[in-house]
A and B are shown apart, each in its own frame.
Chain A
Amino acid sequence: MKPRKLSLHIDVDAFIPATDQDKAYLVKMRSSSTFFKDGMKRLLKNKVALVSIIVILVVVLGCIFIPMFWPYKYDQMLGVTAGAAVDSSYANLAPFQYGATEKALIEQGTKVFPHIFGTDAAGRDYFIRVVYGTRISLGVGFFASLIVLVLGMLVGSIAGYCGGKVDMVLMRIVDVIYSLPDTLMIILLASVLKQTLGAAIEKTIFAKMGSNMLSLFIVFGALYWVSMARLIRGQILSLKEQEYVLSAQASGAKAGWIIRKHMLPNCISVIIISTALQIPSAIFTESYLSFLGLGVNAPMPSLGSLASDALNGISSYTYRLVIPALIISIIVLSLNLFGDGLRDAFDPKLNA
């Protein structure tokens, strides 16, 4: 029977049971992949990124857990005991050497925990200071990036979403801050905050952190958010034109909702990647400031201040300089490589 285009007759052929061959087309050969799964697969294939994340994890876990069981403290001067004269045999020990009282203990047969990297001029175990310094440098890098992320996201999404005059004003502010020479301004701010903050934060929870570290965060927050804000604004501007945003607006969604539910999830990969790449640059700046003596408060160590302290004894104790220097370089290098890997895996567009 020849079917007529407009007839209501049912085409019987359409109801013939499917053959096995037809059914084979519908069998799922593999489970469907999500964006995240795809990205992870690409990331796992990237050997360089994989090695870097392992290095980062080892360093992070090491500087979290080692201080828990290490028998020495970072600010413990081994030669100093209450009520006794300072035992100078503990100062400037070479690696795996022991102080006078420790030698006596060893002769009695007691086991003494070795000073793997020796001790510094004040008789403090250098290994634990390096571990602590790494902890502080990583912590500063991480939290500074978090501050940058939050500020940049706030300003960027408001500017991008509101547009018009708000965007104009915010972006001009961003332009001005962006064109300031950042390192000079950071040094200036840090050197002033170092003088002023101490009194201001006394008896608050910030006092424990030390005025210098707080000023580091303020400085990062004040200057580094601008490029993040620019990036997020650009993303939001392009997403704003999408139809689903129009549809949400038409059904009466408020601005905050649209930003939270539609905009941010869609630019999340770009945000995460640039935050990951922000961490090494924050570590870089922190160690730079510590090197100039504007970093964390003594006796707290950071990798930069350790390197800076080691500069005085460079001819006799070169290893004390090389160790923190190497650790900073390894951390920054592996974070950068991992960030690049993340970018390649999750945002192939950016790499164009």
Chain B
Amino acid sequence: MNPKTVSYILKRILMAIFTIWVVITVTFFIMHAVPGGPFLGEKAISESAQRALEAKYGLDKPLFEQYLTYLSDIVLHFDFGPSLKQRGREVIDIITDGMKTSVKLGLIAAVIALICGTVLGSVAAIRRNKTIDKVIMVITTAFVSMPSFIMGTLLLAFFAVKLHLFPANGSTASGMVLPVVTLSLYPMAYITRLTRSSMLDVLGQDYIRTAKAKGVSGWAIIFKHALKNSLIPVITYCGPMIAGIVTGSLVVEQIFAVPGIGRAFVNSITNRDYPLIMGTTIVLAILIVVMNLVSDIMYKVVDPRISFD
């Protein structure tokens, strides 16, 4: 690896760490700007009990000291403190529990989206302006304009409620089908369009003409020469795709009652479980930032033509 690549990667990692710090700080101070603190709205408690509770959760200390404790707990132990509403459970345990389901769901969705997207996109590009291309483009345009919660609810309405093909509850294996499909449709449509346009771009390049001229067969051109280069833009989309799947899973898990981290997050907002809100936000943000980092670095490493600014 040349030194420019290394310095780029280092710079990018520093930027990612900085972003994560900003997320933690913003989350902390936003959540502490809520008036009355987390115990407001509960049944009336006596002054002394209130103070005892605050002491237990460290809320009686100055704000900045609380912030430093919170930050160092995360950095040193990856500890987000106890949950306020789920007695006796640590936030990090709730998050890891939810993550097990969510990561499985998200990964399957991502893989399906990547495979189907590149295949459909390549087919559309090779059969440009033919019927199959037009059909693929119309369908993907429709999918790209449909918010994931609409997609999810419609799938639920037809496949689970009307046709009874799949259970409406997403905690079982067959129940995972609909949420996975919901999560994968948008990125799949997006990747299809991305692959199509970059494949068309690549197919117009000189080296493809050269390959054709020296008599390479059609399929060999597609697989050996065109596909590899037209996948580069897809790599850059991987980061945003993970971010999209993460935010999509917030509602999709809600719709299909999947016991994942997205559902825990949404429930923590309705329950006003502040440590859990902060913890999930930070963990999901770290996930998104890291995925963006990885896809950026991959992009630069894979394509030597890209310059380093």
Q: Which residues of A contact B (CB under 8 A)?
A: 175-176, 179-181, 183-185, 187-189, 191-192, 195-196, 199, 280, 284, 287-288, 291-294, 304, 307-308, 310-311, 314-315, 318, 321-322, 325, 328-329, 332-333, 336-337
Is A314's CB under 8 angstroms from B153's CB? yes
Is A180's CB under 8 angstroms from B27's CB? no
Is B149's CB under 8 angstroms from A294's CB? no
Contact partner of B285 (CB less than 8 A), chosen from A180, A189, A195, A284, is A180
Q: Which residues of B contact A (CB under 8 A)?
A: 15-16, 18-19, 22-23, 26-27, 30-31, 33-35, 141-142, 144-147, 149-150, 153-154, 156-157, 161-162, 243, 246-247, 250-251, 254-255, 265-266, 269-270, 272, 277, 281, 284-285, 288-289, 292
CB-CB nearest in chain B for A307: B153
Min CB–CB distance B40 → chain A (angstroms): 9
Min CB–CB distance B242 → chain A (angstroms): 10
CB-CB nearest in chain B for A283: B147
CB-CB nearest in chain A for B144: A336
> Lowest 4 CB-CB distances: which A-B pairs, in order?
A333-B145, A183-B247, A181-B288, A325-B150
Besides A288-B251, A304-B149, A329-B150, 13 other CB < 8 A contacts?
A175-B15, A176-B18, A179-B19, A180-B19, A180-B26, A181-B246, A185-B26, A185-B281, A192-B31, A192-B34, A293-B270, A325-B154, A329-B142
Q: A-B pairs with CB below 8 Å: how many?
A: 116
Contact partner of B255 (CB less than 8 A), chosen from A188, A284, A311, is A311
Contact partner of B281 (CB less than 8 A), chosen from A176, A184, A311, is A184
* A332 surroundings in chain B (CB, below 8 A): 145-147
- Inter-chain CA distance A175–B309, complex, in Å, is 15
Known contacts A307-B153, A318-B161, A333-B145, A196 near B35 by CB under 8 Å: yes
Contact partner of A322 (CB less than 8 A), chosen from B30, B157, B254, B277, is B157
The B interface is mostly helix, strand or loop, or mixed, namely helix
Known contacts A287-B147, A322-B154, A181 near B269 by CB under 8 Å: no
Min CB–CB distance A127 → chain B (angstroms): 20
Is A181's CB under 8 angstroms from B243's CB? yes
Sample of 21 A–B contacts (CB below 8 Å): A176-B18, A176-B22, A180-B285, A181-B246, A183-B247, A184-B288, A185-B281, A188-B277, A195-B272, A284-B147, A288-B251, A291-B251, A304-B149, A307-B149, A307-B153, A314-B157, A318-B157, A318-B161, A322-B157, A325-B154, A329-B145
